[in-house]
A and B are shown apart, each in its own frame.
Chain A
Amino acid sequence: MTQTQTRPTTEPERPKPTAATAMRLIVPLQGVVQGRGGLILGSLIPCALFYFLQFYLKRHRSPNPSSDPPSPSTPSSNLADLPRTSSRSNLSSRGSFGPVRVSSRAGSLAKADDSTYYIGLNKVKEDPYHRTNNPNGIIQLGLSENTLCLDLIEKWVSENLTDSIMGSDGGDLSISGIAAYKPFDGMTEMKVAMASFMSRVIGKAVSFDPSQIVLTAGATPAIEILSFCLADHGNAFLVPTPYYPGFDRDIRSRTGVELIPVHCRSTDNFVFSITALDQAFNQARKRGVKVRAILICNPANPVGNILPRETLYDVLDFAREKNIHIICDEIYGGSIFGSEEFVSMAEILDSEEGDKDRVHIIYGLSKDLSLPGFRAGVIYSYNDSVLAAAKKLTRFSSMSTLTQRLLISMLSDTRFTQEYFETNKRRVKEIYDSFVAGLKQLGIRCSESNAGLYCWADMSALIPTYSEKGELELWDKLLNIAKINVTPGSACHCIEPGWFRCCFATLSQEDIPVVIERIQKVAETCKFPS
């Protein structure tokens, strides 16, 4: 059964015109620059005239602290929500929030939320599918979550929770034991429990060292903190495409780090080549941009493939040659449903001598253990200076000690975690098989995947034109006519149009025919040009 999910996205928002920053460079005047001003090219005279006009208008308009006017999107299309290009930017200042300004970083964050990824998630929130209560609602296939084994966790919690939190004998288990200030990067017992858990779930042949762990309130701040430690404003990371849409907001908005896409193709099953990395690195250098790291996801999101061992060795060689860092996001490391073996970067490094300082692994419990609400993320680094700096930065994104107490118990229960992962693998595979088979019936092929909570579907046969525009038209139809939310490849920076990420791990077997039928209706209309 599809859950009505809430996830960290935006309220209905009008797209913001670009280039507020450029505006600030040209016209350093407070009243105009509120993220609403458009790009004004050219001389200072039109700028000054514009300023005086705005000033005049502002003097004659009372400050309006009321909320944003409703989104202009029509019920049948979200294409109007997409960010407008600067050539059509709006100079007028609708719905003033008052004369006092906010920063340009605030503006850039707002812009990041204009992606189809967030728009889609938002739309579902307004009209979420429920098998009995709202059967005509939008089915969420855009949120990578796993609800297939929550019953097991529920059972564990109802059987174990009292002891682990309350502790009848007081002392360390009473509330005062967890209420006080504890190390911001996590209690020792929590690091030990996490290290042991990671060793069982993703390490297998290797074990993780608790002293190399920094705990954060989720993987989102983990990757941001790591980015702050590895790169300065204006530096860049190489990121193979397609990649998780959230990276654009999570990594770029406050750090000012650029993400340089390294395009991969379906012919390679979307696995990057070192040649492509090399080209991207050199192109950046020509532009005067310093590349500080390569960011890889293994298992990959959105494609769902596991990187082969040789690729991991190749990336390590590449990073050493260029003297850059490797950020390896292994958040789906425990979500393997296929037969292929997952090899953690930790395993690669275990057999290496020296020069591990450049490798950092991201992990968390949001995907593998279905606990996104509890905010449990990990930075695992081989670099003492990074660990030292990251530790200090966790004061801004610390795990709640209350939650640590619960997780120490849960993660240490090896009998439970083993049962969980065995059952989870089976249930995810069942849904995956049914879902992919259903798509196949419609002539939609999925790329080969062994992991993750989603499949990567090729719907290029259904798009009106083989372009991003065509892809977005299909996305819009799927969202508003078929009423399913899937993530278009363009949101993931995929260079080939027509690919869509479909998350299936919140579906039950009964939901799948409903989804397939809805897609079929739209698919039929796509095959006949209007």
Chain B
Amino acid sequence: MAIEIEQPSSVELSKVAVSETHGEDSPYFAGWKAYDEDPYQESNNPSGVIQMGLAENQVSFDLLEEYSEQHSEAFTWGKGAPGFRENALFQDYHGLQSFREAMASFMEQIRGGRAKFDSDRVVLTAGATAANELLTFILADPGDALLVPTPYYPGFDRDLRWRTGVKIVPIHCDSSNNFQITPQALEAAYKEAEAMNKKVRAVLITNPSNPLGATIQRSVLEEILDFVTHKNIHLVSDEIYSGSAFSSSEFISIAEILESRKYKNSERVHIVYSLSKDLGLPGFRVGTIYSYNDKVVTTARRMSSFTLISSQTQHLLASMLSNKKFTENYIKTNRERLRKRYEMIIQGLKNAGIECLKGNAGLFCWMNLSPLLEEQTREGELALWDSMLHEVKLNISPGSSCHCSEPGWFRVCFANMSEQTLEIALKRIHDFMQQRERQRKPISSQ
């Protein structure tokens, strides 16, 4: 006979805690798990999974190492540690002035001096992830909507929505025009939000785009700016890959457009930046919101109390980024090396019979595998992704996790590994494609 024992009710958690909005069950993250379990290593595990799903920049580490060897005083507080005391106590949400100035100047350098940045408008956050979430908290109420062009960085689903309660309504883009944002698509997204009774508060673009690996054209930026002005909403421009454009002149920042318009209607524009991609320092947690809106600057500063950058880190980077010799050389060298890597992977993929979207920036390329799909659906794409992960042992990001409306596109990162590893990855892809070709050819009877 069953014995019923009263079970004490366990203490409840919040909706945020149990929500799935963190998105960590999606394929984007599942691939990472597979990599963690069987990571490629040149000597120890040459048949392991090669991680091509992480947009990390390791091509210019040697420059950072060189800097740290030559400028060890930036990493300490010098002999006897003068200035340490003040630094250790510094938790002002305005941030270290010297660091804000260095950051503003670095951002100017990346844009070839074509835009000016006022250090008083720089708000510091512990990473761009925090910056994007903070802006969402400030610009939108729970239930409101942000318009984001697809395909977009999978992390946005979590960063913009999870704690904020804000919705993302996609601005659909497709390959017919190289996934560029059109006024029609903007308008359609706006109407879609209205039909769902959601108030649109902002458009959020990533420029250069993740996952496309391409900069947004000037004319498109002008159209987007006109659109948000007309609708009286905000524009957030995540320019985290601005320093990773292969050539300085090809990247046009929204700041340049605003300057050319003499900053008319600029109080609706906010730029997000970080040192995680361009400078390859994601561990340091350095992000910034640059806003042309005074109220947003003030509010963001206060809210940054929840996400301050360590004063030790600010101290080091103030030194590093105000060293013009270092930054100029770094920016130039980094661009060249990324371009080289890009060309290498594009050629390698071409040799394997794979086409990519024409890119000019970022740490990844946007690869078209739709000809390989058994069926032109999300399921078909995921089936292919699964083979890539478990047979070819490459973790690449499926377009569906980026909300791409066309199945078969994949984001492939090329900057988070050595050239040798990239060669091996390309070889694996080449072999995979050859094998598929052989499988398709019928066995001719002799």
Contact = CB atoms under 8 A, between A and B. Distances in A.
Interface string A96-117: 0111111111100110010000
Interface string A206-246: 00000000000110110010001111110100000000000
Given A174-B65, A375-B308, A217 B14 contact: no
B2 interface: no
B14 A158 contact: no
Interface in B1-29: 8-18, 22, 24
A386 B18 CA distance: 9
Contact of B76 (A158, A224, A374): A158
Nearest to B94: A6
Contacts of A395: 127, 129-130, 159
Contacts of B361: none
Contacts of B227: none
Given A102-B296, A154-B85, A228-B14, A406 B92 contact: no
B65 A371 contact: no
A173 to B, nearest CB: 11
A139 to B, nearest CB: 16
A445 B308 CA distance: 38
Which of A145, A181, A325: most chain B CB closer than 10 A? A181
A68 B298 contact: yes
Given A157-B84, A371-B88, A97 B72 contact: no
A150 interface: yes
Contacts, number: 282
Contacts of B94: 6
Interface in A72-122: 97-106, 109-110, 113
Contacts of B64: 175-176, 179
B443 interface: no
B147 to A, nearest CB: 15
Interface in B90-117: 90-94
A142 to B, nearest CB: 14
A181 B282 contact: yes
B138 interface: yes
Contacts of A161: 75-77, 81
A398 B89 contact: no
Contacts of A7: 91-92
Contacts of B312: 373-374, 400, 402-403, 406
Chain A interface secondary structure, helix, strand, loop or mixed? loop
Which of B12, B89, B286, B294: most chain A CB closer than 10 A? B89
Contact of A397 (B15, B84, B89, B306): B306
Contact of B65 (A98, A176, A217): A176
Interface residues of B, number: 89
A400 B283 contact: yes
B68 interface: yes
Contacts of A399: 285, 310
A285 interface: no
A423 interface: no
Given A102-B139, A180-B283, A370-B88, A68 B163 contact: no
Interface stretch (A49-57, A59-67, A267-275, A345-353): A59-67
B267 A217 contact: no
Given A392-B22, A400-B312, A165 B91 contact: no
Given A158-B79, A398-B285, A403-B313, A229 B13 contact: yes
A147 interface: yes
Interface in B295-315: 295-296, 298-299, 301-303, 305-313
A225 to B, nearest CB: 9
B141 A166 contact: no
B233 interface: yes
B232 interface: yes
A385 interface: yes
A383 B18 CA distance: 13
A525 interface: no
B283 to A, nearest CB: 3
A11 B15 CA distance: 35
Interface string A394-413: 01111111110010000000
A385 B13 contact: yes
Contacts of A11: 298, 301
A136 interface: no
A397 B137 CA distance: 15
B137 to A, nearest CB: 6
Contacts of A150: 84-85, 88-89
B371 to A, nearest CB: 33
B294 A68 contact: yes
A10 B302 contact: yes
Given A109-B303, A228-B14, A254 B137 contact: yes
A165 B13 contact: no
B13 A175 contact: no
Nearest to B280: A179
A456 B315 CA distance: 36
Given A103-B141, A158-B76, A175-B68, A228 B163 contact: yes
Contacts of B126: 217, 375, 396-398, 400
A27 interface: no
B163 A254 contact: yes
A109 to B, nearest CB: 6
A373 B310 contact: yes
Given A105-B138, A105-B141, A373-B89, A397 B283 contact: no
A220 B93 CA distance: 12
A48 interface: no
B316 interface: yes
Given A103-B138, A103-B141, A179-B64, A400 B309 contact: yes
A358 B18 CA distance: 16
Contact of A375 (B68, B303, B310): B310
Contact of A182 (B75, B88, B283, B292): B283
B381 interface: no
A133 B340 CA distance: 57
Contacts of A389: 13, 16-18, 22
A29 B12 CA distance: 38
A323 B9 contact: yes
Interface in A169-225: 174-176, 178-182, 217-218, 220-221, 224
B294 A67 contact: yes
A8 B305 contact: yes
A430 B284 CA distance: 39
Contact of B89 (A5, A174, A253): A5
Contact of B14 (A109, A182, A229): A229
B91 to A, nearest CB: 4
A400 B92 contact: no
Contacts of A393: 162-163
Contacts of B86: 3
B257 interface: no
A33 B74 CA distance: 47
Given A166-B75, A372-B89, A228 B267 contact: no
Contacts of A250: 305-306
B133 interface: yes
Nearest to A104: B141
A96 to B, nearest CB: 10
Which of A8, A68, A181, A386: most chain B CB closer than 10 A? A8
B61 interface: yes
State the 3 A-B residue pairs at the shortest beta-carbon distance, nearest first: A373-B311, A401-B283, A6-B92
24 contacts: A6-B91, A6-B94, A11-B298, A97-B267, A98-B268, A100-B267, A106-B295, A158-B80, A174-B65, A174-B68, A176-B65, A217-B306, A229-B14, A230-B14, A250-B306, A254-B306, A323-B12, A383-B11, A386-B17, A395-B159, A396-B129, A399-B310, A402-B283, A406-B312
